[in-house]
Amino acid sequence: MLITCPHCGTRPVEEFTFNGDASITRPTSGDMDQWHDYVYLRHNPKGRFEEYAHHSGGCRAWLVVTRDTATHEIFGAVTARDHAKKRSAK
Amino acid sequence: MKYSIFSLLKNTLSGHRNWAPAWRDPQPKKDYDVVIVGGGGHGLATAYYLAKVHGITNVAVLEKSWLGSGNVGRNTTIIRSNYMLPGNNPFYEWSMKLWEGLEQDFNFNAMVSQRGVLNLCHTDPQRDAFARRGNAMRIDGVDAELLDTEGVREMYPFLDFSNARFPIKGGILQRRGGTVRHDAVAWGYARGADARGVDVIQNCEVTAIKTEKGKVVGVQTNRGYIATKKLGLAAAGNSSEVAAMAGLKLPIESHVLQAFVSEGLKPYIDGVVTFGAGHFYVSQSDKGGLVFGGDIDGYNSYARRGNLPMVEHVIEAGVAMIPGLARVRVLRSWGGIMDMSMDGSPIIDKTPINGLYLNAGWCYGGFKATPASGWCFAHTIARNEPHKLNAAYRLDRLRTGHMIDEKGQGATPNLH
């Protein structure tokens, strides 16, 4: 798998550390059910998937990579900051 | 037909042309008392024990592909019960006891071989942790022996004892651990369940789960609608996808784990050895190939194939442990999809939906658990309550703070 980092360009998969489902959002309240869902439940689809990836072997930025989990095809990567901005704009 | 020396002789004399198929190929009926989704080891074992222990025989096992096409045919065949935590060890030890009597029980040669599982340690703290784990095992009645360096050298003189970075300080040995012919486990359970009236239906993929007023009423499949009041999910790597059909979001991520087999060698490694400074485990199959594996690739995947960086990583760990491996050629590699849970331990439980039962979250320890998993899941389905052996494997344990985290990694599925 080759991932195109917005800062570093196209880099091999071993430079990245994955942290899974990027669809979850950190709760702003103290509601325990919301926290349980945030910490433990995961969107885990077969197919198109947005996931957090840390470019730990490169610029060390947190990214959100869009990838197909059934084929490993990579559709693109944006910084986690841009992803969050886009999400909050929705 | 019962398999025995007499059936073998009889069929030998007729040139092996008259063996009957080991199980039927039935058409799905309109309804069943219990439907199991997933014709892998756990699903087939569940059906077998439902019929044998609980007398429930109007059961269907639905498999989307061919029997044993998933993880039961993709693992590295290791069995052991060397866990530490209270919720785990009695369960895995029951599994080991079932392995020990399995072949006689289901009249099928699964080549259960208790050749010993040795975990190596490379530091003093790791040895202390092994002593603690061994003591926990012995409290639960499991065999455990702590070996020093010389004890390990006597068993496996070709390990790299002089490795400057990872010297071998000893190991923990479970002599009752070993390996099993993995496909035969699926076949034996399928044959045993089928003989008791269970319909094992291949090429039958569940496409929807139908519920009414919070109760399961049936499943839609590519071979028509099947009604049932009790539905057991044993879909391993596809658990999240199947559970989502019932509106459940699980504490699970699916990850790819690669495994490897080398060219055939003369007898070299007569047990199972695991590296303690990285993740690597190896045994030798009866055909002579070294069977080995390591860590999951680390990213969500349903692809059943991994990437080369993990191949390199696994083989580096192997060569650090056994330098001689550097001259062995790898014959094949493959991948399986692991249902990685949030605390590294499985779930065998009821769900918030009446009549829906879940067996998932096996991470990459599912094979050794096959008999006990089926046995406990059958009990949970038949009695509508967990057995005490799987009582800790609750779906809601993360909510209540009762996680069973052997590695102490926290909610990071790709690190368990």
**Which residues in chain B are closer than 8 Å to A64, comparing Cβ atoms?**
none
pTM: predicted TM-score of the whole model, two decimal places: 0.96
Letter string b/e over residues A17-53, b meaning 16 or more CB atoms within 10 A of that residue's CB: bbbbbbeeeeeeeeeeeeebbebbbbbbbbeebbbbb
pLDDT at B89: 93
Residue B398 touches partner A, C-beta closer than 8 Å:
yes
pLDDT at A88: 87
Residue B288 has pLDDT above 90, yes or no: yes
Q: Phi-psi category of A39—alpha, beta or left, where left has phi over 0 and alpha has psi -120 to 50?
A: alpha
Residue A2 touches partner B, C-beta closer than 8 Å:
no
pLDDT at B415: 92
Query: How large is the C-alpha radius of gyration of chain B?
Result: 21
Residue A50 has pLDDT above 90, yes or no: yes
Mean pLDDT throughout A12-22?
A: 96
The share of chain B scoring above pLDDT 90, in percent, equals 99
| Contact across the interface for B254 and A39, Cβ inside 8 Å | no
Tell me the CATH class for A2-25+32-89.
Answer: alpha beta
Q: Which residue of A has its CA nearest to B339?
A: A44
pLDDT tens by residue, B11-63: 999 999 999 999 999 999 999 999 999 999 999 999 999 999 999 999 999 99
Residue A55 touches partner B, C-beta closer than 8 Å:
no
pLDDT tens by residue, B343-378: 999 999 999 999 999 999 999 999 999 999 999 999
Specify the DSSP class assigned to residue B354.
Answer: B
Q: Where are the domains of chain A?
A: 2-25+32-89
Q: Which residue of B has its CA nearest to A13?
A: B309
pLDDT at B306: 94
Helices (H), B256-344: 308-321
Q: Which residue of A has its CA nearest to B250?
A: A41
Write out residues 24-43 of A within 8 Å (CB-CB) of B: 32, 36-37, 39-43
pLDDT at A90: 78
- Mean pLDDT, chain B, whole residue set: 97
Mean pLDDT throughout B295-309?
A: 96
CA dihedral B184, B188, B191, B197 (to 10 degrees): -140
Residue B119 has pLDDT above 90, yes or no: yes
Write out residues 308-327 of B within 8 Å (CB-CB) of A: 309
User: Which contacts (CB < 8 Å, 24+ apart) does range B105-110 have?
Assistant: B105/B192, B106/B48, B106/B188, B106/B189, B106/B191, B106/B192, B107/B2, B107/B3, B107/B188, B107/B192, B108/B3, B108/B184, B108/B187, B108/B188, B108/B191, B108/B192, B109/B3, B109/B181, B109/B184, B110/B180, B110/B181, B110/B184, B110/B185, B110/B188
Q: Coil, helix or strand for A86?
A: helix
Q: Which residue of A has its CA nearest to B307?
A: A1
- How far apart (Å, rounded) are the C-alpha atoms in residues B139 and B264? 40
Residue A14 touches partner B, C-beta closer than 8 Å:
yes
User: How many residues would you count in chain A?
Assistant: 90
pLDDT at B356: 98
Residue A70 touches partner B, C-beta closer than 8 Å:
yes
Mean pLDDT throughout B187-210?
A: 98
**Which residues in chain A are closer than 8 Å to B413, comparing Cβ atoms?**
20, 42
pLDDT at B133: 97
Question: Could you tell me how many CB contacts below 8 A there are between chain A and chain B?
Answer: 70
The share of chain B scoring above pLDDT 70, in percent, equals 100
Which residue, chain included where needed, has tokens 């690597």? B280
**Which residues in chain B are closer than 8 Å to A32, comparing Cβ atoms?**
399
pLDDT at B196: 97
- How far apart (Å, rounded) are the C-alpha atoms in residues B393 and A46? 25
pLDDT at B208: 98
Residue B117 has pLDDT above 90, yes or no: yes
Mean pLDDT throughout A64-79?
A: 98
pLDDT at A20: 95
CA B124, B129, B134, B135 dihedral sign is positive
Residue B144 has pLDDT above 90, yes or no: yes
Mean pLDDT throughout B285-306?
A: 96
Instruction: Report the residue from B240, B299, B398 with minimal CB separation from A51.
Output: B299
Which residue, chain included where needed, has tokens 């790709």? B414
pLDDT band at B1 (very low <50, low <70, confident <90, very high): confident
Quick check: ipTM above 0.90? yes
pLDDT at B62: 98
Q: Around Cβ B16, how many Cβ atoms within 10 Å?
A: 9
Residue B129 CA: distances (Å) to CA of A12, B107, B162, B184, B406: 36, 40, 22, 35, 12
Residue B216 has pLDDT above 90, yes or no: yes
Helix (H) or strand (E) holding B231: strand B224-233
Q: Measure A42 CA to nearest chain B CA, in Å.
A: 6
pLDDT tens by residue, B333-348: 999 999 999 999 999 9
Q: Measure A86 CA to nearest chain B CA, in Å.
A: 23
| Contact across the interface for A42 and B249, Cβ inside 8 Å | yes
Write out residues 240-299 of B within 8 Å (CB-CB) of A: 240-241, 249-254, 298-299
β B59-62/B31-37 pair status: parallel
Q: Around Cβ B381, how many Cβ atoms within 10 Å?
A: 27
pLDDT tens by residue, B78-111: 999 999 999 999 999 999 999 999 999 999 999 9
Specify the DSSP class assigned to residue B62.
Answer: E
